Structure 1
Amino acid sequence: MSAEMAKRGGPYLSTVWALGGTPKKNVDVPITAVFLALFVISAAWHMTIFQKNRGRGHKFIFNAALFGFSMSRIVTCILRIASICLPSDIQLAIAATIFVAAGVLIVFVVNIIWAQRVLRATHPKLGWHRVTKIIFIATYVLIAIALIITITSVIQNFYTLRPRTKFIDRALLLYGQTFLAIISSLPILIVGLALALPRRTPLEKFGAGKHSIKIAILLTGSTLLTLGAWYRCGTSWQAPVPKSQPLPAYFAKPCFYIFNFGVEIVTLYLYAITRVDLRFHVPNGAKGPGSYVVRNEKNLDEETGEEKEQGEVASIEPLRET
């Protein structure tokens, strides 16, 4: 650490290992560039779906959200490549770290909203109950607070050498990562609750395709992201290891790419290939039990995305066991 850096109060290079270890230009730049290209394709894919749907009057903003997440990952990859090529620029490393931690929250929220739709379709009274709405709103507020706490602790940790402050920053970071890992698991828990509770009313089927396939898609995407979130959380809870010691196996470079970019790109492509814009669509203005059931209106064909006439777009029928 230079005297000039100490005089101006940071930022300071980390003295402990983090997930992925020390980036190497000949290894990390090519790998990150590949993921950059994959996220560019994802962004173009989801935006194309969104624009085509908007042109047909098919409102589904989640493709725009997935486009936004893809764009955030494009920025993340660019910052990571820049920070690897300019290792002395600590501020680039800080920005890359923040984007890695924060971007995935977009998909967490998307999955929660889709899980809420499954709950409302399966148990309308519970899903639309006032208390349930308040719980979901409170969850979104807590997510925002956890995000602020995480970003603040990450930034401050780079700008202090005081052990007491670093201890507090680590405690805040552990809280934020643990809370967000729990949030990533919520869609699985919500869908599990919807399937476990005995159904007293017919299923309010929404969107295109079988209800069981919707659930399978949502659970697959949520499980992938949950795996990444809990791995990052679990490794953070391990005692900090100084860089003077060998890199722990759980911080290995493959783990960084698999449990960050890897699970995310698979989820983004899964949602595009399976056409979630058709499967998780609900009628505009849906509000209250029974509002997912729409009769005698135009719907989009599940395979082609073209408009078709359907006597009962979302007919009420029991969920088939598959």
Structure 2
Amino acid sequence: MSQPGNVPKGPPYLPQAAQTGGVPTVSIDVPALGVLLAIYIGFAATNMTIFQVNNRRKHIFRPSVLLFGFCMARITTCILRIAWATRQTNARLAIAAGIFINAGILILYILNLFFAHRILKAKKPQHAWLKPLDILIKGLYVLIVGALIMVITATILSFYTLNMHTRKVARDIQLAAITYLLFIAALPLLLLAVAFLAPHDRYERDFGTESMHSKGFIILLTTTICVIVAGFKAGVAWETPRPINDPAWYHSKAAFYVFNFTLEILALSVFTFTRIDKRFYIPKATTKEGDEVAETNMSTEENERVSVSSEVKFATEL
């Protein structure tokens, strides 16, 4: 175990490698974080209001609560970084701020995957409701939680040791988890491609308001934003660590605020202002076993009703 010259006694130890955004300062970061704090508070209030209004109308749409949760996570992130800016040598604040930076965005990844899966089930019910696919998607949700736990554990471990081997192991764990999260961020693109480019399914159905293409475009846009964010984080993580006094462009405060906040707010705006609570809503009544739908393409048998077992649980909420 060796201890770098300027490392304060600990643990925990402040990082000696350059970090994206660097150590926050009162003069630069606090005003920027104050603006972001106000924005996230506004979005949190908006999404909770949408949920409560819908709830009173028996229009239950839980993704609105997840958007509220994302906003609350980012509010906490801003508060922690403001506190860190006033106590720059406090390693515990640095740890907490770093964890929330990486954790909050996962909610957007999950929402994109959930909505893309819902579109796929509607567009290709005869194929998408195979048990293996359903189990796979649920397994991916579990692995997202696992990846988050890995990142948190490795981050804390790297702050509490100076042993180079242990730090290398922690870095390897972080790289594996961050790469997996990049895969999760991009996966909705594959689901959308299958939904819209595969041959037409005669049992295709719609849900919510507006066209299916508009729903697909919304998820395409938010997924692309999340892929950029996840790709930036993965790219920075895989780069060779640089000394704290020799940062690269991707360690700058500009890069930090663009890739960690600006793009996230853009995705949050798309989700909120396009009213996904209306576009992606499916009444609970359609989730019962044995639902039947009329085939619209059978002109000679207009009154015939066919059971579509592949659509069972189609509308299951988060």
TM-score, normalization by structure 1: 0.86
Name the structure 1 match of 2:32. Answer: 31
Q: Which residue number corresponds to residue 21 of structure 2?
A: 20
Q: Could you list the per-position Cα deviations for residues 251-294 of structure 1 after superposition, in whole angstroms to 9, with x for gaps in the alignment?
A: 22111111111111111121111100000011215448995969
How much does 1:28 deviate?
A: 0.8
Cross-structure match for 1:283: 283
Question: 1:151 and 2:152 equivalent?
Answer: yes
Query: 1:20-53: CA deviations, max 9, x gaps?
Result: 1232221111111111110000000000100000
**How high is the sequence identity, in percent, across the aligned residues?**
38
Deviation at 1:5, TM superposition (A): 5.9
Q: Give the equivalent residue in structure 2 for 1:54.
A: 55
Partner Cα distance (1:179, 1:232) in 2: 12
Residue 200 of structure 1 deviates from its aligned partner by 2.8
Structure 1 match to 2:231: 230
Letter in 1 for 2:283: P
Alignment of 1:1-322 (within 5 A): 6=9, 9-244=10-245, 246-284=246-284, 286-287=286-287
Render the CA deviation track for 1:229-264: whole Å, top value 9, x for unaligned.
1101101100000124x2211222111111111111
C-alpha distance in 1 between matches for 2:152 and 2:291: 39
Distance 1:21 1:292 in 2: 58
CA contact (8 A) 2:13 2:161 kept: yes
CA 1:218–1:4 in 2, change beyond 3 Å: closer, same or farther? closer
Runs of 5+ unmatched residues, structure 1: 295-322
RMSD of aligned C-alpha atoms? Answer: 2.1
Distance 1:21 1:60, change over 3 A: same
Amino acid at match of 2:115: W
CA offsets per residue over residues 158-188 of structure 1, 9 Å max, x none?
0000000000000001111111111111111
* Structure 1 counterpart SS, 2:28: helix
Please report how far the alpha carbon of residue 202 of structure 1 lies from its aligned counterpart in structure 2 after TM superposition. Answer: 4.1
1:133 is displaced (CA, Å) by 0.7
Q: Is the 8 A contact 2:182 2:231 kept in 1?
A: yes
Q: How has the CA–CA distance of structure 1 residues 289 and 179 changed in structure 2, closer, same or farther, with 3 Å as cutoff?
A: farther
d(CA) in 2 for partners of 1:3 and 1:262? 34
| Structure 1 residues 115 and 216: alpha-carbon distance in aligned structure 2, compared to 1, 3 A threshold | same
> Does the 8 Å contact 1:157/1:166 carry over to 2?
yes
- Change in Cα spacing, 1:93 to 1:291, as seen in structure 2 (3 Å) is farther
**Conserved 8 A contact 1:128-1:288:** no
The residue type paired with residue 100 of structure 1 is: I
CA contact (8 A) 1:116 1:190 kept: yes
Give, as a single letter, the amino acid of the residue that structure 2 aligns with 1:102.
A
Aligned to 1:300: none
Higher mean Cα deviation, 282-291 or 19-28? 282-291
The change in CA–CA distance for 1:184 and 1:292 in structure 2 (over 3 A counts) is farther
Tell me the number of residue pairs that the alignment of Structure 1 and Structure 2 aligns. Answer: 291
Instruction: Report if aligned partners of 1:32, 1:77 keep a CA contact under 8 Å in 2.
Output: yes
> How far apart, CA to CA, are the structure 2 residues paired with 1:103 and 1:261?
11
Q: What is the CA distance between 1:90 and its match in structure 2?
A: 1.0
Change in CA separation of 1:207 and 1:292 when aligned onto 2, cut-off 3 Å: farther
Deviations 1:52-83 (A, max 9, x none): 00011101000011001101110110001101
The amino acid of 2:34's aligned partner reads A
Change (3 A) 1:291 1:16: farther
Give the residue type in structure 2 aligned to 1:277.
D
Partner Cα distance (2:26, 2:210) in 1? 46
